Amino acid sequence: MKVLTINSGSSSVKYQLIDTSTQQVLCKGLADRIGIPGTTLVHKRADGHTVQITNNINDHQSAIDRILEVIISPEHGVIDSLQEIQAVGHRLVHGGDKFHSSVLIDDAVMKKLYECIEFAPLHNPPNIKGVEASLNKLPHVPNVGVFDTTFHINMPDYAYTYGIPYKFWEAYGIRRYGFHGTSHYYVAHGQLKCSVGTSRN
């Protein structure tokens, strides 16, 4: 199975294409300075072949478009067709208290992602842009959201409660959520395996 992973930031998109049957990273790269003159896309294959493309990329949709183009290009690519991509995984920073596991992204999930923007206003909007760009370009494959916060979801209340008036938790959801969960999981378990569940009702 070939899985494309996307980490969409405010002005960059990191990606890898992984063959899960062999655990091999077929290619990886970074589109940097999105929306800024002189955008660079650095693409590296497993065999060491590397190309740097300099072009203006104005938004995340254009970045995803360029990434997919280079992945399937005869000169620099590693697959012949986008049809070979069987799933897309998105790194998402903050799922608030709405997501307790990785999720298959649908309209209901997208609505909740927008509701979580207030918890990470610098990170969640570009994460969402990456998801929307991928859904637009690869509507035929499952897109899965993997949240940094779900690794810490079983944190006990005495650990996640701040020493501030409890009304702020009740009114605004202010509590400790934990971050960088995907990295913590990898360090703790040596590999990343994310089960796909559902969002909290």
Contact 51, 64 (CB under 8 A): no
Q: Which of 32, 59, 107, 148 does the annotation list as catalytic? A: 148
* Helix (H/G/I), strand (E/B), else coil: 118: helix
DSSP-derived letter for residue 65 is: H
Contact 142, 87 (CB under 8 A): yes
Exposed e or buried b for every residue in 115-143, given b needs 16+ CB within 10 A? ebbebbeebbbbbbbbbbbbbebbeebeb
Q: How far is CA 50 from CA 21, 45, 121, in A?
A: 24, 6, 34
* Helix (H/G/I), strand (E/B), else coil: 5: strand
What's the first-to-final CA gap in the chain, in angstroms? 31
User: What CA–CA distance (Å, rounded) separates 201 from 136?
Assistant: 26
Respond yes or no: is residue 148 known to be catalytic. yes
* Helix (H/G/I), strand (E/B), else coil: 29: strand
Active site members: 148
